[in-house]
Structure 1
Amino acid sequence: MERRLAAIVAGDIVGYSRLMAEDEAATYAALRSAFDDLITPAVQRHGGRTFKSTGDGFLATFPSVNEALDAAIEIQAGFEERPFDLRIGVNLGDVIEDNGDMFGDGVNVAARLEAIADPGSIFVSAAVVRGADRNRGEHFSRVGRRHIKNIRESLDVYAVRLKGGRKPVAHWLPRAMRGRRAMFAYATSAAAIALVAVAASDTARLEAVTAGFTQNLAELAGIERADARPAVAVLPFDNMSGDAEETYFVDGLTEDIITELARNPELQVIARNSTFAFRGQPTDTRQLGQRLGAGYIVEGSARRAGDQLRVVAQLIDTRSGAHLWSRSYDRRADDVFAVQTELTSEIVAHLVSYVRQSEVAESARRPTENLQAYDLVLQARNRYKHGSGDGEALLASRALLQRALELDPGYATARANLGLTYIADAVQGISGRATKADIETGLSEVRQAIRLDPNLAIGYQALSFGLAASADYEGAMQAARRAVELNPNDPDSMMALAKAQVRFGDYADAVANAERARRLHPLAPEYYTYVHGQALYAAGRVDEAEAVLNECLMRAPQEQDCLLIRAALLVGQGEIDQAQATMARLVAANPQFSLAGERDYRRFGNSPLMDRFLADLARAKAPATAARQPRVAATAT
C-alpha cells in the first residue's frame, strides 16, 4: 500500500435507475456511449486514470488539480448533448493506493462533494481552489460550508462556473475579431468604455478593472509579462517592550504575519530571511524596495507588557515613499491571533482588489488555545533556524517544542517543527547524535502534524525533506507540490519542488520555480543559487547555467554543489582541464565525495541526463570511491 497526495474526480449520472426502468436498452446504450466516447477519453487525455466504475458513476485520479479540473469541465460540457445529467465532485487530498484501487479521505470527500452537487454542476473543495492555477480564481463561486455525512468537520465548498459567468477578455475576444491588431484595438476601446463607466462608481472597482484589462491587453498584444501581483515585504517589527528578552516574541509575531500573507495567492511575499537581514538599518524605503523587489513595505512595532499587547503597523508604497495607512491595535496578549488576522486582512485589502472571505476565515483559525504553548514555539523558532549548523541550538529548540506539545498535544505547528529538528539533524549531522532512525521519528511527527492540520504548509515542507532523505523522491515531490499549493509564496517549498522536478525530468518548471523562489528571497543562501544553476544545466540552458554557477562560486568559492555542476558543465563545453581543476577543488572541500555516492544519490533520477552526468564527472577525474561513506543524503531538501 502507498499513501500519496492525489486529485480525485467523482462523477455520477442523475436519475439513471428511473431512465433504465423507462427504456432499458436505449438507456444502457447511451450510458456506454457516454463512457466510451466521452468520459474515458477525457480522463486519459488529461493524464488521469479511472480506478473505479459503479455502473452509472466513476472515480478517477489525476496528476494535478488543473488536469482534474480540465477533465471535469470537458466531461460536463459533453453531457450537454446527452440525455443524462451528471454530477461531479473534485477533491485534493491524501489517498491510499492498493493494487490499483484508492481509499481514504481524499476519495471520500470527492464522492461526498459529488453527492451534494447540483445536476449538471461541478462542486470542489477549498483544497482544489487553493491548488488551481491563479488565473482560474474567477471560475469558482463559493457555495459555503456544508456538513457532509461521515466527514467530521464541515467542508468549504465551491462550484465551478460553467455557463453564464464572466469570461476573461482573452477567452471571448478572439472569437469576436480576427487578428492580433484588430483584437488589441477592440480591447483598447472596450477598456476605455469600461473605465469611464467605472470611474463614476468607486475607486476599488476602478483599480480592479484596470488591473484586469492591463493583464488582458498584454496577453492580446503578445507581450510576456512578469508576475503582475503586488509584492510586499514585511520588515522585522521593533521590540518596544524595553526588554531584549521579548525580541523573540516580536520576531515570532512578524514571522506569523509573513506566513499568513504568503497564503494569499493574490500577493507575492518576500521571504522572512531576506527582510530580517535589514533589521536596524536606516535604509530609505525606496532603495529597500528596489533591493527586495517589493512595491510595498510593512513596518511596525510591538510591545507586550503583562497581559497587554500593543501593535503598530504601517504600509508604505516603495515607489513614492507614501504611507498608505497606519493602524494601532491595543489588545490583551491572548488576542494575538486576532491582531494577526486583522492586520493581514487590511494589508490584503489595500494591495488587491478584494479579500476572499474564505481565506480570511482560514487565517483566523487559532493554531492553539494555549498561549504558553504558542510562546514556547516562538522561542523554539528563535533559538534554531532551519539551515543553521548549531547543534546545541537545535537540541534546545527541540526541548522547547516538546514542552509546547506537553501543554497542547494537538498543536500541529509545534509537531511539524519538532519533526523537522529530527530530520534535519539526521540528514545534516548537526548535533552529532542523530541516527538514520531519527528520520523515521521525524516523519512520524510530521505526518501526525498533517493529520492534525491537513492545510499546514510547513508540515508538507518538512514531509518533503524527510521523504527525500529516505530516497522516496516521488513522494518528496508530491509533498513539496502540496506545500506550494498551500503557501504559494514560500520560497523554501518552491526550491524543494524545483529540485524534485529536476530529478523527474520536469526541467522547464524546475527553472521557473527556482527563479520565482529567488525573486521572493533575494538574500537567499547559496543553496538557492545551486538549485537554479542545476535546473538550468538540466534544461540545456548552458550559458545561463554557467552565469548562475559563477555567481554562486564568486560568493562562496567552496560551495560543493555549485562546484559539482560546474565541473560537469565544463566537460560538456570541452573545457576538460578546467573541469578537472574544478573537481580537485570539490574533493579538497569534501574528501568524502565520490562517483559511487553520486550514482547512489541519483541527482537527476533515472533519466538519460543522469548517465551523461556521471560520465562527465568521470572525465573530470571524480574519485570512484571515498575513504568514508558519504553522509546521509546531505543535499536532499
Structure 2
Amino acid sequence: MQTELNRKPSVVFFSDIVGYTRLMGQDENAAFELMKLNLKIHQEVLANYRGTIIKELGDGILAVFETVPEALSASLEIQKICLAESKYKLRVGLQSGEIIFDHGDVFGDAVNVASRIQSVGVPSSIVFSDRVCKEIVHDEFFQTVKIGSFNLKNVSHTLELYSLTNPPLEVPKRAEILNNIKYQESNPWKSWVTIGGVFILVAMLIYSVFWNGAVWEKEKSVAVLPFVNLNGGSELDYFTDGLTENLIGQISKINSIKTISYSTMADYKNHNLPLDSIAEALQVTTILKGTVEQLNPGYRFKLQLIDAKENKNIWTDEYTREGTDLTQLQNDIAREIAKILDVNLTAEESIQIGKGETSSAEAYDLLFRAKSLYNEGFGDPQLFFDAAELLKKAIALDPNYALAYTLLAKTYFQIAYDEPNGNWYDMSLEMSSKALELEPKLAEGYSARGIVYYDLGQYSKAKNTLETALSFYPNLSDAIGNLATIDFVQGNLFEALQLQTKSSNLGPNSHLPYQNIGWIFKILGKQNEANQWFDKSLEISKNPVTYELKANSLIEQGKKSEALKLLGNISLQDSAEYNLRVAGSILFYSGDYDSAFKVWDISIRRNIKVGFDKYYSTPINYAYLLKKKGDSLRADSLLNAAVQVKIEAMSLGSEDYYLPLDIATAYAVKGQPFESMKYLQIAYDRGWRDYFFTEFNPAFEKLRSDNRYIKILKKIRTDIDSVNQKLTSTSLQRDK
C-alpha cells in the first residue's frame, strides 16, 4: 500500500553566493572556507526563526520556514551579516506554498519557483513572489516594492516579483531581472570566455536597442489616461475615475517623473486622439492606458505603458484585486512605473506613496464616490454636501483614514464659497488637523490646510503650510499653484514665475498658470510675452479675468481701441456679476467713463442690498465717476462703506496687498493724500508691484507728482529691474 505523502504549507528559501564559481577557479581553499562561513551564518540565524536547512547546494542553501515574517526576518539578518563581513554577497529568493517532505528532502512547485526567483536576483537582494508579499501587506516593518511580472525558465505561469527594500538591501531593477532571465535562456557555448563575450555583445545590443535610443529612458514623464470601464454603462465610472486620480497622485509623488495632473487628464476621457498627439500636447514621453473590469468578486485591471514617440509597448501587466488588496493597487502600480522608468525612489518618496490610505475596501469605495461628487460640485454646489456625507461614512468605517479627512477638509472649503456665513473654514481646518494627527507627514493634509489660510488672506501661514506640503510631495500641483499665487501677491515675482511654469507643465490644460505667467510678464514690462501667455490661457478658457489683464496690457501700450474690442468677448446679457466688474474696469481704464458708469451701476445697485465683500473694488472707482458727475455725497458714502469693510478685514489678519491698495485708491478719490500714501506704502510692503492700477487710474492724477508716490514707484521699478536681471542671468546660464 502506498504511503501518504507528507504535505505542508511552508516558505521555501534559496540563497546563493554571488561569483562563487569564479572564486573557486581562482582559489579553491578560500572558496571552501567561504562556503563553511556561509553555512555557519545560515545555521545560527535560521535557528532563531524556526528555519530548517534542507541541504547545501555547493554555494547555496535550501531551507524552509513555517511563516513568511520569519523567513523574511531571517533573510534580512543574513544579508546584514554578509554585508558587514564584506567577504561575499548573497542572492535570496522566497516562495510560499504547499510542499512535500520526503526522506529529508522537499519537493513541489514552490521549491522550483523559489530557486528560479533567487537565480534572477541581484547581489544583496531579497526577492519573492506576490504570494509571499500578500502575507505581509499589513506588517509595517517590511518595506517592499513591486519589480514587475516575469516569465521565468521552467515556471509555467507568470510571476509578480517583489523585493524587500529595508536597508541595507539592494533592490533589483526590472531591466536587471530581464537581463538575468535572458542570460539563463541563452544556449551555453563551449567555453566561459565565449559566454562572457556573447553576454557582453548581447548586453550591448539590448542596451542600444531598448535603452540607449529610448527618449522615455532619458526624459522620464508619463500621462495617465482615464481608465476605461469594460463593463459598459456609467455605474462604474466613479470607480475608474477615482482610481485614475489616485494613481496619478501616487506617481506624481516621485519627483523625478513628470506626471500630468488629473485635472488635465480628465479632459481626455473618451478621447479619440492619437497617442502621439496627446504626448506632444502634454510634453510627455510615455502614456499609461488602463482598463477596469468588475468581476464577482473584485476587479480585473489591465495596464499598458507606451513609448509615445515610437508607439511601442514598454510594459504590460494584469492585476486581479479584491478587498484589502484593492486599496494598495495604485501604490503597487506607482512603484512599478518607477522601476520601469529606472527611477530609484528616495526614502521620503517611498514613505509618501500610499500614505494616509485605508485598508477598508468599503471606505475606499466611498471615497471614490465622494471624489466623483466633489469634482462635479463646481457645476452644482449641492454635490459638495453630498460628498461630505459619503466621506463621513468612510471615516465611520475607518476612523484612521487620513485621506478621507483631507478630502472632507477640501469639501468644507468649497462649501464656504456658497455658505460664507457658516463656520466651514473652521470645520475644514479641523478635518485637516485630524488628518495630520494621523499622518504627520501627509502632504495632502498640509495642502488642504494651506488653501484655507490662503483664502483667509493669512499668507504667512499659508506659505509655511504649502511649503511643508511640497517638502514631502514636490509635484503636488494644487500646492504649487497656490504657493505661486502667494509668492506673486507678496511681490516675489521671480519665484512666482518659476512655480507657475512648473504648474503649467504639470497641468497644461489649466488656464490659470498661463494667465498668471502673463500677468507677471506684464508687470515686468514684457508686453509681447505677456500677450502670448494671455492668448494661450484664453485658448483653454475664455475667462473674463484674462481678458481684463490683456486689456490692461494693451492700455499700457497705448492701444485703447484694441483693449475695447476685447469687450466683445465678455457677455453682459445675463448681467453676470464678475462680467460686469471686468467690463466696467476695461471701459474705465480705457477712458470711456460714461459706459463704465452704466455697467458698474448695475453691479452697485445689486451688491448694496447685500453688503460689500472685502474684495469688491468696484465702488471705489465708481465713486470717482460719481464725483465727476457732482454727486459727492453718494460717492463718499460708498467710499466710507468700502474702506470700513477693507480695514476690518485687515484687522482680522488678512495680509494681501489688494486691501490697502483699494483703501489707498479710495483716499485718493476722497482727496486725502496723506492717508492714500500711507496705505499705498502698506500695499507695496505687502507685495504690490503692478503699478498699472495707480499710473493709469485718474484718481491718482494729482498724486503722481507727490514725492512719497514717486519714491514708492521708484522702489517698484527697482524691484522689477532686479527680476528682469535674474531672468536674463537664468536664460544665459541655460544657454551655456
TM-score, length basis structure 2: 0.50
Residue number in structure 2 paired with 1:257: 247
Q: Is the 8 A contact 1:508 1:539 kept in 2?
A: no
1:422 aligns with 2:417: no
CA offsets per residue over residues 601-626 of structure 1, 9 Å max, x none?
7697635744724314624999xxxx
- 1:185-223, CA deviations, whole angstroms, 9 ceiling, x for partnerless residues? xxxxxxxxxxxx998868999999979xx9xxxxxxxxx
Q: Which has the higher mean CA deviation after the structures are superposed, 483-492 or 341-350?
A: 483-492
Aligned to 1:516: 502
- After TM superposition, the structure 1 = structure 2 runs for residues 79-90 of structure 1, keeping only pairs within 5 Å, are none
For residue 606 of structure 1, what is the aligned residue in structure 2? 685
State the SS of the aligned residue for 2:226: coil
Contact 2:488 2:496 (8 Å CA) reproduced: yes
1:375 aligns with 2:398: no
SS of match in other structure, 1:312: strand
Taking structure 1 as reference, are residues 555 and 296 closer, same or farther at Cα in structure 2, changes over 3 Å only? closer
User: Max radius of gyration: which structure?
Assistant: 2
Find out whether 1:281 has 2:267 as its counterpart.
Answer: no
2:471 aligned to 474, 485, 495, which one? 485
Is 2:363 the partner of 1:304? no
CA positional deviation for 1:389 = 3.6
Aligned mates of 2:311, 2:514 — CA distance in 1: 31
Q: Distance in 2 between matches of 1:203 and 1:601?
A: 67
8 Å contact kept, 1:490–1:517? no
Matched, 1:475 2:475: no
Could you tell me how far apart the structure 2 residues matched to 1:539 and 1:615 are?
16
Match of 2:518 in 1: 533
Residue deviations 1:547-567, cap 9 Å, x none?
22244346655x343244335
Q: Does 1:345 align with 2:335?
A: yes
- Output the CA distance in 2 between the equivalents of 1:201 and 1:615: 67
CA shift, 1:502, in A, is 0.8
1:563 and 1:585 in contact (8 A); partners too: no
Unaligned runs of 5+ in 1: 1-152, 160-196, 215-226, 623-637
Return closer, same or farther for 1:199/1:434 CA change in 2, 3 Å cut-off: farther
- Residues 601 and 310 of structure 1: CA distance in aligned 2, closer, same or farther (over 3 Å): farther
Query: Which whole-Å CA distance do the structure 1 matches of 2:548 and 2:271 have between them?
Result: 36
- Distance change in 2, residues 1:514/1:393 (3 Å): same
Equivalent-residue separation in structure 1 for 2:697 and 2:389 (angstroms): 45
Counterpart CA distance in 1 for 2:690 and 2:311 is 53
Query: Equivalents in 1 of 2:258, 2:370: separation in Å?
Result: 27
Please give the alpha-carbon distance, in whole angstroms, between the structure 2 residues aligned to 1:609 and 1:358.
Answer: 37
Answer whether contact 1:199 1:206 (CA < 8 A) is retained: no
AA matched with 2:697: A
- Aligned AA (1:258): I
State the identity as a percent.
Answer: 23
Give the length in aligned residue pairs: 414
**1:314 corresponds to which of 294, 304, 308:** 304
Distance in 2 between residues matched to 1:478 and 1:233, nearest whole Å: 30
Shift of 1:521: 1.5
Quick one: structure 1 residues 516 and 254, their matched pair in 2 at CA, closer, same or farther if it must change by over 3 Å?
same
Whether the 8 Å contact between 1:503 and 1:602 is mirrored in structure 2 is no
Distance 1:616 1:435, change over 3 A: farther
| Contact kept? 2:219, 2:285, Cα under 8 Å | no
State which of 368, 391, 395 in structure 1 corresponds to 2:381.
391
The aligned residue for residue 565 of structure 1 is 549
Specify which of 456, 461, 479 is matched with residue 442 of structure 2: 456
1:234-292 superposed Cα distances (whole Å, 9 cap, x missing partner): 01111123453222112111111111100001100011122221222232211221122
Distance 2:344 2:582 in 1: 56
- C-alpha root-mean-square deviation of aligned residues, in Å? 3.9
1:234 corresponds in structure 2 to 224
Among 484, 488, 492, the alignment partner of 1:502 is 488
Distance in 2, matches of 1:354 and 1:503, equals: 37
* Alignment partners' CA distance in 1, 2:205 and 2:344: 12
Partner of 2:328: helix, strand, or coil? helix
Give yes or no for contact 2:356–2:439 (8 Å, CA) kept in 1. no
Shift of 1:406: 1.9
List per-residue Cα deviations over 1:292-330 (Å, max 9, x = no partner). 221100001112334322111010000000011110012
- 8 Å CA contact retained: 1:348, 1:355: yes
SS of the residue 1:368 aligns to: coil
Q: Which letter does structure 1 place at the counterpart of 2:494?
A: A
Contact kept? 1:423, 1:466, Cα under 8 Å:
yes
Verify the 8 A CA contact 2:302 2:319 in the aligned structure 1: yes
Which of 575, 583, 586 is 1:585 aligned to? Answer: 583
Preserved CA contact (<8 Å) 1:599 1:614:
no
- Does residue 440 of structure 1 match 2:426? yes
Residue pairs, 1:403-422, within 5 angstroms? 403-422=393-412
SS of the residue corresponding to residue 547 of structure 1 reads: helix
Cα displacement string for residues 328-372 of structure 1 (whole angstroms, at most 9, x for unaligned residues): 012323211332222212211111343446634542556112221
Indicate conservation of the 8 Å contact 2:323/2:360, yes or no. Answer: no
Given that 1:568 and 1:616 are in contact with CA atoms closer than 8 Å, whether structure 2 keeps it comes out as no
1:200–1:606 CA distance, 2 compared to 1 (3 A): farther
Q: Separation in 2 of the partners of 1:464 and 1:343?
A: 29
SS at match of 1:327: strand
**Residues in 1 aligned to 2:229 and 2:501: alpha-carbon distance in whole angstroms:** 34
**Superimposed CA distance per residue, residues 567-594 of structure 1 (whole angstroms, 9 cap, x where no aligned partner):** 5434433445666786861555976542
Matched, 1:327 2:317: yes
**How much does 1:490 deviate?**
3.0
Unaligned runs of 5+ in 2: 1-139, 144-164, 168-198, 568-580, 586-598, 605-615, 621-641, 647-656, 663-682, 702-736
Q: After superposition, give the CA deviation of every residue in 1:518-539 in whole Å (9 maximum; x if it has no partner).
A: 1222211x33332222233344
CA offset at residue 542 of structure 1?
2.9
Q: 1:158 to 1:504 in 2, by over 3 A?
A: farther
How far apart are 1:515 and its partner, in Å?
A: 1.7
Quote the offset at 1:437 in angstroms.
2.7
Q: Partners in 2 of 1:200 and 1:243 — Cα distance?
A: 49
8 Å CA contact 2:252, 2:476 repeated in 1: yes
Shift, 1:447, TM fit: 2.4
- Measure, in 2, the Cα distance between the counterparts of 1:507 and 1:207: 45
- SS, match of residue 287 in structure 2: strand
Q: Secondary structure at the match of 2:314?
A: strand
TM, length-normalised to structure 1: 0.57
Structure 2: which amino acid aligns with 1:241? Answer: N
Q: Distance between the aligned counterparts of 2:341 and 2:205, measured in 1?
A: 13
C-alpha change, 1:281 and 1:562, in structure 2 (3 Å) is closer
Mapped pair 1:544 → 2:532? no
How far does residue 458 in structure 1 lie from its aligned partner after superposition? 2.3
Does the C-alpha gap of structure 1 residues 518 and 423 become closer, same or farther in structure 2, counting only changes over 3 Å? same
Distance change in 2, residues 1:610/1:409 (3 Å) = same
Instruction: Indicate how the Cα distance of structure 1 residues 571 and 615 shifts in structure 2: closer, same or farther if over 3 A, else same.
Output: farther
AA paired with 1:547?
Q
Q: Which amino acid aligns with 1:614?
A: F
Asked if 1:354 is matched to 2:344, the reply is: yes
Task: Please give the alpha-carbon distance, in whole angstroms, between the structure 1 residues aligned to 2:526 and 2:390.
Answer: 46
Letter in 2 for 1:497: L
